[in-house]
Amino acid sequence: MRHSKSLWIGAALVGVALLLPTVTSAQRRSSSSSSWNDDDGPRETETVEKTVAFPDNGTLRVKNFSGDVHIVAGNGHDLKIKARRRASRERLDHIKLDVQSSGSSVTVNANVPDSSWERDHRNNNVVETAMEIEVPASARLDVDVFSSNVTVERVVGDQRLKTFSGEI
């Protein structure tokens, strides 16, 4: 009995020892991904928060290239956006998150380069932008994204949701 107990404990220790390199490797992968480099430098993260008046019976238009978009109905009359943007510092400085109101719509565009950047970096003009947007429940949605998942909760207005390589 004593011999089988020692054998069982030994097997358990070997199993734990085999798992440790896997856990350490996964942790290393996770931490190295946060320091992933773009062509123009190491990636940084910034958070942008904005609140704008949302027109009655208004439409939210969202344009994004990369990063998930989550839209939820809130209790107020404003549009609230919290965006987490990831790219090199140079890209973050030259490619802005733009929120514009015009008539009965509010447009959120995640990748608006300044004119000098666009001219010099035509193929390098994307900032990964994950967005959480709160709108009135009656808002109409017009979402056109590329490499983004789109989720919508409790919004009852008309919805046109389009993604190229994501899920809705």
Contact at 8 Å (CB) between 141 and 158? yes
Whether this prediction's pTM lies above 0.85 is answered by no
Q: For the chain (length 168 residues), average pLDDT per consecutive 10?
A: 43 39 28 47 91 96 97 95 95 94 96 77 81 98 96 97 93
Q: Which amino acid is at 5?
A: K
Calpha distance 119→43 (Å, rounded):
22
Q: Is 67 left (phi over 0), alpha (psi -120 to 50) or beta?
A: left
CA neighbor of 81 nearest in space, from 163, 33, 36, 139: 139
**Predicted pLDDT of residue 127:** 94
The pLDDT assigned to 29 comes to: 22
